[in-house]
Amino acid sequence: SQQGEEDPQALSIQEGENATMNCSYKTSINNLQWYRQNSGRGLVHLILIRSNEREKHSGRLRVTLDTSKKSSSLLITASRAADTASYFCATARTDSWGKLQFGAGTQVVVTP
């Protein structure tokens, strides 16, 4: 079964607005990671948050993790057209080293 489920499936916003997407998971994790995938390209790692962390920032990205609710959110502030991409959460489960399980992804479109 899918470890990470994301919502929304798709998000359309204008430049300058914030984009928020959520990820839920089912089992105990070591960390949760967010990746971006531009059309026709590979995945790019954005940020990793460990299970003992609650919030992390990287540039315009803010990630939160609530292990009690088994959920995470990714906030992109002041979005740009170049942020148009699919965003995936991926969980590193405690019982399976070497495996990342990806959520279904959120497709974000930022219009100028």
Partner 1 sequence: DTEVTQTPKHLVMGMTNKKSLKCEQHMGHRAMYWYKQKAKKPPELMFVYSYEKLSINESVPSRFSPECPNSSLLNLHLHALQPEDSALYLCASSPKETNSNSNQPQHFGDGTRLSIL
Residues in the chain: 112
Nearer residue to partner 1 within complex by CB, 72 or 101: 101
CB of 90 closer than 8 Å to CB of 102:
yes
Q: Does 97 bind partner 1 (CB under 8 A)?
A: yes
Q: Does 85 bind partner 1 (CB under 8 A)?
A: no
Using DSSP's 3-state secondary structure scheme, residue 80 falls into coil
Q: Of these, 23, 76, 79, 103, which contacts partner 1 (CB under 8 A)?
A: 103
- 39-78 binders of partner 1 (CB under 8 A): 40-45, 48, 50
Q: Does 102 bind partner 1 (CB under 8 A)?
A: yes
Q: How distant, in Å, are the alpha carbons of 53, 57, 70 from that of 86?
A: 25, 20, 22
Least gap, CB of 94 to partner 1 (angstroms) = 7
Those residues with Cβ within 8 angstroms of residue 102's Cβ, 6 or more apart along the chain or in another chain:
3, 4, 35, 88, 89, 90
Binding residues for partner 1 (CB under 8 A): 2, 30-31, 33, 35, 40-45, 48, 50, 88, 92, 94, 97-105, 107
